[in-house]
Amino acid sequence: MILIISDTIIQSFIEICGVENVQNSTAARLAYSYDATANFQALPDVIISPRNSEEVVAVVTICSEYRIPIVPRGSGTNLSAGTTPTSGGVVLLFKHMNQILDLDEENLTITVQPGLITKSLIDYVEARNLFYPPDPSSLKISTIGGNLSENSGGLRGLKYGVTKDYVMGLEAVLPTGEVIRTGGKLAKDVAGYDLTSLLVGSEGTLAIITEATLRLIPKPSYKETILAMFASIEDAAETVSAILAARIIPATLEFMDQGTVQVIEDYKQIGLPIHCEAVLLIEQDGAVEGVRQDMEQIYEICSQHGAIEIRNAETEQEAEALRSARRDALSALAKLRPTTILEDATVPRSMIAPMVREIKRIAMKYDVTIQTFGHAGDGNLHPTCLTDLRDKEEMERVEKAFEEIFHKSIELGGTITGEHGVGEMKSPYLEWKVGEAGMLVMKAIKTAIDPQNIMNPGKVFAKSTKERLVMHHV
């Protein structure tokens, strides 16, 4: 284990951010050596918590001079090994940069710092009758900086879109220490390349986001929630297609397979149905009349497509219990075995039934346990494998199973990741999706902005097609 950062450099960081905001004890380094992704771990050399953009600039300027890798980190809830420091260096935390800087009710925008917790933003605007729709299931812990950098989606993605649809402007520190401002409070702005869109979803590999101006919309005044149960996955999938074909775009259209429902029920005991093969959680929001009309039609479509039971949430409390049951799917599954690997293979929504069937077949072929839930409305599935990292032979089968799942989703017109990002974990598979020319363009962008490769190195681009850096540095 070689420390690449000298004491003199550490001292410079301390002078910039204060001694309490620069940590390099073994305990601290170990704490930031992993994130929510199973099977990936790598040690940073130092963890720094700047208090403002100026301190970020000063830290980055030193890193640039000495070619020190920088790993920006929100809450570390990403599921693609996006914050494991593959080449050591600095982990940058934004715990002090978590403020709401400006709410502009005339332009319907909010400007925030990257360390703000997603739910704090949502609650703040909803209390003012405004709405920020992106709602990843991790919203109680994830940060806006992480959401922006992964372009996170959530339960409301089908109707309202994902994080990128709400980003209007950014302040970002480039790997040289220079600061750029993109976009702004402008509904229209076509001045040059769209750098805002380039930075959203760039997984900390191009720049450090230090401020974001986000678009708000009026809060829907009314909402209804139902749970529909089906004897077969096909019935549930056909229901999804039929609802959309009826020109209804529900606010939420979530899918859980029998195994997932069973585990959530064991975990939460809220009376979820465990006798059916598939469950849809469906919500609509908007003006009362419109919502009632849509929900009546949805009810009818569910019945026509073989729903064996439909439950109405009578109160907001009941609705929230159903929503949080779905949000807790991963936590519930994670209790079953030592290691949980959650993927987000995504297919066109017309391909949900074939994909779910394929996942089942592949799990049987490799004799591994995989349960599936996800955002049925947008084809974003979460095949979740329950396994044990210590069992090398089983892990090999798990890896093969996921490779086949990625292949299958691309074959069905889908992608290797709908919302979790590429990170280190899926970097060996990126070329399958974007092709050789796509890789060349992406690499050219990376090299133009970060020629020294100090921004989150080892992420997005794999060194070779099948390279996985497991448990290095430690």
Which residues lie near ligand FAD (CB under 6 A)?
A: 35-36, 71-79, 82-83, 94, 114, 136-138, 142-143, 145-147, 149-150, 152-154, 203-204, 208-209, 330-331, 419-420, 456
Q: What's the min distance (Å) between Cβ of 344 and ligand FAD?
A: 8
Q: Read out DSSP for 27-60?
A: HHHHHTS--SSTT-----SEEE--SSHHHHHHHH
Nearest Cα to Cα of residue 282 among 324, 319, 230: 319
Partners of residue 254 on adjacent β-strands: 281
Burial grade of 437 (CB within 10 A; 0-12, 13-18, 19 or more): exposed
By C-beta, is 35 or 257 nearer to ligand FAD?
35
Residue 441, C-beta contacts closer than 8 angstroms, at least 6 positions apart: none
3-state secondary structure labels for all residues of 325-370: HHHCHHHHHHCCCCEEEECECECCHHHHHHHHHHHHHHHHHCCCEE
Structure tokens at 124: 């703040």
Q: Which is nearer to ligand FAD, 328 or 404 (CB)?
A: 328
Phi, psi of 21 (to 5 degrees): -110, 15
Q: Write down the least CB distance from residue 93 to ligand FAD, Å.
A: 9
Residue 59 Cβ vs ligand FAD, minimum distance, rounded to whole Å: 13
Q: How far is the CB of 415 from ligand FAD (least distance, A)?
A: 13
* C-beta of 277 vs 344, nearer to ligand FAD: 344
Q: Which is nearer to ligand FAD, 240 or 334 (CB)?
A: 334
CB of 12 or CB of 340, closer to ligand FAD: 340
Residue that has been written with the tokens 């999804």 in this structure = 240
- For ligand FAD, the nearest residue by Cβ is 146
For ligand FAD, the closer CB: 35 or 235? 35
CA atoms of 316 and 335, how far apart (whole Å): 28
- Whole-number minimum distance, CB 83 to ligand FAD, in Å? 5
* Least Å from the CB of residue 421 to ligand FAD: 6
Going by C-alpha positions, the residue among 101, 80, 116 that lies closest to residue 201 is: 80
Q: How many residues does the chain have?
A: 474
Q: Which is nearer to ligand FAD, 117 or 243 (CB)?
A: 117
State the nearest-atom distance from the C-beta of 256 to ligand FAD, in Å: 13
